[in-house]
Amino acid sequence: MRLSKLFTKTRKEIPADEVAKNARLLIQAGYIYKEMAGVYALLPLGLRVVEKIKSIIREEMNNLGCQELLMTSLQRKELWERTDRWDDKEVDVWFKSKLKNNKEVGFGWSHEEPISEMMRGYLKSYKDLPANVYQFQTKLRNETRAKSGIMRGREFVMKDLYSYSVSEAEHDKFYNSVIDAYLRVFKNVGLGKKTFLTFASGGAFTEFSHEFQTLTEAGEDTIYLDRSKKIAINEEVLRDDVLKKVGLKRSDLEKVRASEVGNIFSFGSVKSEQLNLYFSDKKGQKKPVILGSYGIGVTRLMGVIVECFADDGGIVWPKSVAPAQVHIAALHGGEKESENLYVELQNNNVETIIDDREISPGEKLNDADMLGIPMRVVVSSKSLENGGFEIKKRTEKETKIVNKKELLQMLGNSN
C-alpha cells in the first residue's frame, strides 16, 4: 500500500466531538470516519484490521465445526413478540420502521429469535443435531448514549454463534470448547494477557453466564479479578455464596475496570419452548433443543486493542491484526532502495506500507507512529551509508541498522 495513493490522511487536530481515546486515535490516523455518535465507517486501513480480527475468529469457529451464514437486518415483529422482546419496554435498543403496507419491522440488534426460527425448519430429529451456526453481522442498537467510540456503537460488527444440542451434556461439552476457542481468539488478537474469563449473571436461564473481560480503564464494567487463578467475577454476582461456588476468596480479588469483549450464555430449553423448537429423540419423543448463544464484539475488539496498547505517539497494533507488518519511510536519498525493498517484501507476501509521499522526514516519522504498524524501516542516504536499513519496532525506542538479508530474515521469522 502506497501512502501517496491512499486517500486517507492523518490529522493532527483531535476530533473535538469525540471523548473516547480509541475513536480519537482511529479517526486521527484515518482508520475510521464518524458518521454520527456511535456510528463509524471503516476506511481502508480500518477495514483491514476488522477483516484480520474476523479471520482469526472465523478460523476458531470453523475448527469447532461451526457453519457460517448471514441473517438479515430486517426483522419480523411477530417473531420477537413470541419471546416478549419486541416491546420497547422490554428491549429499549430497537430501531423500528414500517413497510409500505404500514406493517412494522425492526432492525436486528440480536439474532437469537430469527436464527432459531430458521433452524426450526431444519432441526427435526436427533440426527440433525448438534448444529452450530455463526455469522458476522452488523447490529443496530438505538443506544441512548454512545460515548465510548467504537467500543459501544449504534452500528457495529458482532460475531454471534448459536448452538443447538440434544442434551445438557452435549451442550456443556460444546460450551466449554467455545470457552477455549474464545480464549485462543483473544490471545491471537494480542489481548491474551489482559483478558479474563469472568463469571456473570445467568439471568432467568442458568446459574451463570461467562464473560470475557479485557482490562482497560476505558471499559464500562467493574470486575473482581483473581490474578493468580486468572478468573474474575462480575460485580453483579459478587456475593459470598457465589464466591464459594466458584472457588474464589474475597481477599484475593482486585477491583478493576474492564471491557466485555465476549460473552457466552446457556438458555437451556426455555427459549426453545418459547419458539417451539423441538426435535424427536431416538425413541420418537418430542424434546426441546438445548440452546446456547456466544458473542464477540468485533469492532469493539478493535477499539479495546487501541485502548490497551496506544502510546503518546499513536496507535500500536499487535502483529496479528495490524493492517501491514512493515512501514517503510522513504527519506531523502533512500527513495530507490525503498522502492526495491517494497517490491521485494510484497513478493515475499509481507504486507507493507510505503510512505512515498513528498513530505518532510518529521511528518513521515510522526505518521508511522500514528498508524502503529509493528515495524518501521527508515531508508535514507544516511542509513544506506551506515550499512542499510534503520529498523525500529513500534513498541520500542531503540533503532538498529540491518542489511537487506538480515531484514528479510527477521520478517520471515516475525510471525
- Chain positions contacting a copy of itself, by CB under 8 A: 5-9, 33, 35-36, 39-44, 46-47, 65, 67-76, 95-97, 99-100, 105, 107, 114, 118-119, 121-123, 128, 131, 133, 138, 140, 142-144, 154-155
Pick 125 or 386: Cβ nearer a copy of itself:
125
Smaller CB separation from a copy of itself, 129 or 233: 129
Contact 261, 214 (CB under 8 A): yes
Nearest distance, CB of residue 70 and a copy of itself, angstroms: 4
Is residue 233 within 8 A of residue 242, CB to CB? The reply is yes
Q: Which is nearer to a copy of itself, 73 or 320 (by Cβ)?
A: 73
- What is residue 252's DSSP assignment? G
- CA separation for the pair 276, 117 (Å, rounded): 8
CB of 220 to a copy of itself, least distance (A): 18
C-alpha cell at 304: 479495546
Nearer to a copy of itself, 127 or 404 (CB): 127
Min separation Cβ 47 and a copy of itself, Å: 5
Q: What minimum distance in Å lies between the beta carbon of 39 and a copy of itself?
A: 5
Task: Give the nearer residue to a copy of itself in terms of CB position, either 40 or 186.
Answer: 40
Residue 306: strand, helix, or coil: helix
Q: Give least dist CB 398 to a copy of itself, A.
A: 34
Q: Closest separation between CB of residue 154 and a copy of itself, Å?
A: 6
- Round to whole Å and give the CA distance between 42 and 263: 24
CB of 97 to a copy of itself, least distance (A): 4
Rounded least distance, CB 186 to a copy of itself, Å: 24
Cβ distance to a copy of itself smaller for residue 78 or 180: 78
Please say which residue, 8 or 366, places its beta carbon nearer to a copy of itself. 8
Cis amide linkage into residue 130, ω under 30° from 0: yes
| Least Cβ distance, residue 395 to a copy of itself (angstroms) | 28
CA gap 174, 168 in Å, rounded: 10
Looking at residue 14, the DSSP 8-state letter turns out to be: P
95 vs 205 by CB, closer to a copy of itself? 95
What angle do helix axes 335-347 and 404-412 make, rounded to 10 degrees?
A: 30
Among 386, 412, 382, smallest CA distance to 401 is for: 386
CB 310 within 8 A of CB 354: no
Instruction: Tell the burial category of 7 from Cβ atoms under 10 Å away from its Cβ (0-12, 13-18, 19+).
Output: exposed
Among 340, 347, 399, 344, CA closest to 368: 399
- Collect all residues with Cβ–Cβ distance below 8 Å to 228 and sequence separation of at least 6: 252
The DSSP 8-state label assigned to residue 217 in this structure reads T
Query: In the bound complex, what is the minimum distance in angstroms from residue 309's beta carbon to a copy of itself?
Result: 23
User: Nearer Cβ to a copy of itself, position 318 or 323?
Assistant: 323
195 CA to centre of own chain: 13
Nearer to a copy of itself, 89 or 100 (CB): 100
Q: Residue for cell digits 469447532?
A: 64
Structure-block grid coordinates of residue 42: 471503516
Amino acid at 404: K
Distance, in Å, from the CA atom of 138 to the CA atom of 239, rounded to the nearest integer, reads 36
